[in-house]
Amino acid sequence: MTLFGHKTHRCGMLGLSTRLSLNWDKAAMEWWQRLSIYPPRKELQQRNFKMSLKMKKIARKCPYITRLLDIIEPRDINNFKDVYLVVEFMSADLKKIIKSDISLTEDHVKVIIYNILLGIRWLSLAKVLHRDIKPANILIDDDCHIRICDFGLARSYDSMRPDPNRYHEIIQKQINAQQSIILDDGIRPQTVDPLLKRKITSTILDNSKKERSSVKRKLSDHVVTRWYRPPEIILVEKEYSSEADIWGVGCIFAELLQRIQSQTQPANEVNRKTDALFPGKSCFPLSPDKNARRVNTRRNSGHPLNLNQQQSNGHYAKKSYPVTDQDQLKMIIDLLGTPGPDDISFITDDSALGYMQEYGINIKAVDLQKRFPQASSGAIDLLRQMIQFNPYLRANAEECIYHPYFDKIRVSEILDTIMPRVVQLQIDNDEVRLSIDEMKQIIIQEIEFFKLKRLQQGIKHIESIYVIPDSTI
């Protein structure tokens, strides 16, 4: 099979080729997206326009993001309101795959998640947060190539001050310094000691709580589709980083693991029902249940959760919070168990800590191996690292990619060559306000770029996509 004239690679997805369209060239030209010109007085619409333009430039060299192939020139270039974009066509998205009757092997799941992580790595190195990672936003073809799409909630933070990623970097530097001491003693750890990481992380976050709580919010709080929303966004933290996207990938990973068919299991006996990992029906305070109880009636609650012994002397206001069995946070705690002091050290809002007290103590974590019996121990270990409650303890994209689970398909030399550049535009600054005429002029420049490309290369200009290098699969 060919994709835009280039031979494709990687693990072929069994069963997909008979179900999905293979007419790539025609479909690519027929799938158009519409981009409206918004009134420039609205800040959010200004930001969306700038982010859309930036992502189109970032994606030109990225093999894991939907790439803009062309722009349809309006009939009247001097008077238009709508723009139609031609983008890459992919036959399906992961939501359709997960809800279908297709059975997967663990190799399929491994390649899919690995490719998604490569996309998240690219975005994080380009200092972009997607902020809506979910199955419907991961496009896929029958060779397990993926494209991350829908950047409507994405945000670039390369020019944001303070950098929301700064404490991740501080913690990592401290861990590296501690490891250097260990190396000097002749003991070479294979991986970072999780206890050491927890200790350093908790200490740094506790000492920086006042500074982090006083930061002016620059990142939106109501982002990410509910089932894939991480704790730091649920608890309305002012700062978050690409680990929020990793949480979403972990949730997708859990859904794909349910599609695995064992070698001894007949295809007609595979469990066709796939459940979301955290299928909440409400999410206080972002989208609360209006009928939620104002008191805690959970059977295992007993006493309030003592989140921080140093602040247990009435520091938290005595206030009732809505509690529902279908709340998103409740779903997370019921699976991961009651978060300990290290797990909640990232929280800066005392009200958020008070709200967590409503969910009780001594809730034991679910055994993920029993929850996903078809998955290997390596898959379970990776999943556990991707859905850590504390984002500072959660594995980042680089750590996930170098997890032993991917040892057979990872090629480090290729990773070193697939590096993005941080795209900076003159219009990036939020203080730059564009008029409608200025927006149109920017779009006309992009139209002229593709127009010249068509004149030079003809229809083959859509074939010059980034070819994903060979892997060991």
Two structure tokens written together for 416: 């070193």
Helix (H, G, I), strand (E, B) or coil at 448: helix
Active-site option among 70, 132, 141, 342: 132
Rounded CA separation 182/176 (Å): 10
Burial 320-339 (b: 16+ CB within 10 A, else e): ebbbbeebbbbbbbbbbebb
Tell me the CA distances in angstroms from 150 to 66, 133, 279, 364, one per residue in order.
9, 9, 22, 36
Least Cα distance to 13 among 119, 91, 122 occurs for: 91
| 132 tagged catalytic | yes
| Residues found in the chain | 473
The DSSP result for 20-69, as a single string, is S---HHHHHHH-EEEEE---TT-HHHHHHHHHHHHHHHHGGG-TTB--EE
Rounded CA separation 295/301 (Å): 11
Q: Is the dihedral of CA 451, 453, 458, 461 positive or negative?
A: negative
Strand 68-72 with 82-87, pairing = antiparallel
Q: Please identify which residue in the block is written with the tokens 């479909």.
A: 27
68 in Cβ contact with 60 (< 8 Å):
yes
Instruction: Return phi, psi of residue 323, to 5°.
Output: -125, 130
Two structure tokens written together for 318: 């005595």
Rounded CA separation 318/295 (Å): 12
Quick one: which H or E segment has residue 6? Answer: strand 6-7
Tell me the CA distances in angstroms from 345 to 218, 305, 308, 339, 392, one per residue in order.
21, 15, 9, 10, 9
Rounded CA separation 113/73 (Å): 37
Rounded CA separation 117/106 (Å): 16
Rounded CA separation 215/217 (Å): 6
Residues 6+ apart with CB under 8 A from 342: 198, 201, 202, 390, 393
DSSP state of 289: -
- Residues marked active site are found at 132
